[in-house]
C-alpha cells in the first residue's frame, strides 16, 4: 500500500484568506520532510551494514566474506 499525504487544511478557512494558504504550504512542507526523514532512517538502518560489506569486498586485499564478518 502506498502512503498518502493529506493536503486538507485544518482550522478556520475563509474565502481568500492568504494566511491559510501559506500555512497549508508550510504544513505540507513539514509533512513531506517528516515523511522523507522517516524513509531515510529506514533506508540507512537496513542499508549500512550491506554497504560496509560491499565496500570491504571491493577493497584491495580482497578479503573473504567470513574475514569481513569476524570480529578479529
Q: Is residue 32 part of a domain?
A: yes
In whole angstroms, give the CA distance from residue 4 to residue 23. 19
The answer to whether the predicted template modeling score (pTM) of the entire model surpasses 0.85 is: no
Q: Is residue 39 part of a domain?
A: yes
Using the predicted structure, report yes or no on whether residue 68 has a pLDDT greater than 80: no
pLDDT of 3-19, one tens digit each? 665 555 555 555 555 55
Q: Is residue 17 part of a domain?
A: no
SS3 72: coil
In whole angstroms, give the CA distance from residue 39 to residue 34. 9
pLDDT of 32-57, one tens digit each? 999 999 999 999 999 998 898 888 88
Q: Is residue 7 part of a domain?
A: no
Q: Is residue 3 part of a domain?
A: no
How many domains does the chain divide into? 1
Range of the structural domain that residue 29 is part of = 22-68
> 28-50 b/e with 16+ CB inside 10 Å = b?
eeeeeeeeeeeeeeeeeeeeeee
Q: Is residue 48 part of a domain?
A: yes
Amino acid at each position: 500500500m502506498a502512503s498518502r499525504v493529506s493536503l486538507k487544511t485544518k482550522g478556520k478557512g475563509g474565502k481568500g484568506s492568504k494566511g491559510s494558504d501559506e500555512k497549508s504550504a508550510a504544513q505540507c512542507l513539514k509533512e513531506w520532510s517528516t515523511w522523507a526523514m522517516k524513509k531515510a532512517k529506514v533506508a540507512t538502518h537496513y542499508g549500512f551494514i550491506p554497504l560496509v560489506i560491499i565496500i570491504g569486498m571491493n577493497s584491495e586485499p580482497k578479503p573473504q566474506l567470513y574475514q569481513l564478518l569476524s570480529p578479529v
